[in-house]
A and B are shown apart, each in its own frame.
Chain A
Amino acid sequence: MNRLVLWLPLGLFLLFVAMVILGLRHGEDRNIPSQMIGKAMPDFALQPAVPSHAGLALADLRTGRPRLVNVFASWCLPCKAEAPQLMALKRRGIPIDGIAIRDRGEDVAAFLAQWGDPFDRIGSDPQSRVQFDLGSSGVPESYVIDGKGVIRLQHIGDIRPEEVDDIVKAYEAAR
């Protein structure tokens, strides 16, 4: 019995080593999922980011029809990579609104001119407040909000071409 106890520290150490090796091999998931999925979008009202589009407020998301909200910025590189996929989603009939994080009007306008404009409305979030409201930790992120204003899906990072179908499915499910 006492013999076994003597082996305990070594056993614990080996367990620790195994955990480290396992952790290293699996890599790290640095994505922080929002805790707001399934909850109502908090009240917010954002000024228009560009003169060509209206701003965005909670009431605009509670229209009885689900919408895709894309959190983006003109200074964000993956947002440019994501632009064709957003255009594809728009072509498939999904209404998209944008939230521009820490951005300037002229930069957003140039971004839309160069990479395409899938947005119905674009709200400007100069101090990342609505981003915090959403539990979002970076750009780009996309959210499916159902017709009652409940957050149904969070997509972290740029939408890849092979992920477009998943977004469409989530949108259909939110109806």
Chain B
Amino acid sequence: MRRRTGPRLAPGNSLLLVFAFLATPAFAQSSLPPARYAYTQLEDSKQEAKAKALMETLRCLVCQGQSIADSDAEIAGDMRAFVRESIKQGQSPERVRAWLIERYGAWVSYKPPVEPLTWPLWAAPVILLLGGFWLARGRFKRRRG
């Protein structure tokens, strides 16, 4: 039996393959340049530091494992511009975060709030530590006795 070494493509199919490579990636690029503050720091270094810290804890909407500070997606650039402009106008970082959470849910923030859904996340370290102490205590007791 002849073994097939790889997929063979009919001429029509190879054209499809070409289209597959030409296809627009998940986030297509628009033809507009980035927003003013997408890649430009704020003039006031204190404000920029605040904005940067906030951007590092906000999740990019389309590249979901990245913060908007790390992402090159256009929508992340627009979010950075939005964050910088809000801080420039004197809004507090937590207010900007709250504004975004109001629209996208706690999901958008890398700083999860303490709420019924997330309390195990916050309680787990304490519970594990107490459990560890309890286990260790049993061992020490036995050795002494």
Contact = CB atoms under 8 A, between A and B. Distances in A.
Contacts, number: 72
A75 B79 contact: no
A131 to B, nearest CB: 8
A36 B102 CA distance: 8
A159 to B, nearest CB: 18
A135 B82 contact: no
Contact of A32 (B30, B35, B82, B104): B104
Given A127-B35, A127-B81, A32 B28 contact: no
Contact of B24 (A34, A77, A126): A77
Contacts of B74: 102, 128
A33 B27 CA distance: 18
Contacts of A44: none
A107 interface: yes
B61 interface: yes
Top 10 nearest A-B pairs by Cβ distance? A135-B103, A137-B61, A102-B30, A128-B78, A102-B32, A127-B35, A75-B30, A77-B24, A35-B105, A75-B28
Interface of A: 2, 5, 30, 32-36, 73, 75-77, 101-104, 107, 126-129, 131-135, 137-138
